[in-house]
Amino acid sequence: MKLHHLKPAPGAHRKRTRKGRGEAAGKGKTAGRGTKGTGARGTMRIGFEGGQTPLQQRLPKLPGFTPRNRVEYATINVGRLQEAFAEGDEVTPSALRAKGLIRRGKAPVKILGDGELSRPLQISAHAFSASAEQKISAAGGSVEKLPARSASAASGSA
């Protein structure tokens, strides 16, 4: 057998259908598109659902949707700081992770105001609630806001 003797198996190759070439061709008149309606006419944009609100517009309104640019903080209350740190200690995200008080890998840290704080602490975090700032300064401590990381880097770690 030589290369020029090879040919495809019978029925493996079919001639392409030439649509809209008259009734005798079998795909004339409507060319397989049926009668009337949007599908029989021009093209529709991607995501078009016949006038119904498209999925990409409906999704943010449904429960369970979380936007991509949302920053998820590793949170801790001032009451827990009272228990874990001595008077005058410096509280940083790395110190909190070392003591096992926060778990979320590289997530930014937010201090919340639940609980009581009676000793002065130097606290550095990415965000503070208003009540937490108030309690820390009332106890004689100081608050230092760290620069916020980009939203994509913060939400990527969990």
How far is the C-alpha of 18 from the C-alpha of 27, rounded, in Å?
7
What's residue 149's pLDDT? 67
* Residues of the chain scoring pLDDT < 50: 151-152, 154-158
How far is the C-alpha of 87 from the C-alpha of 133, rounded, in Å?
17
Domain 74-156: which CATH number of 3.40.1010.10, 3.40.1030.10, 3.40.50.1390, 3.100.10.10: 3.100.10.10
Are 40 and 30 in contact by the 8 Å Cβ rule? The answer is yes
pLDDT tens digits, one per residue of 87-125:
988 999 999 999 999 988 889 999 999 999 999 999 999
Enter the pTM of the model: 0.56
How far is the C-alpha of 134 from the C-alpha of 131, rounded, in Å?
5
How far is the C-alpha of 155 from the C-alpha of 158, rounded, in Å?
7
Closest CA to 154 of 106, 88, 99: 106
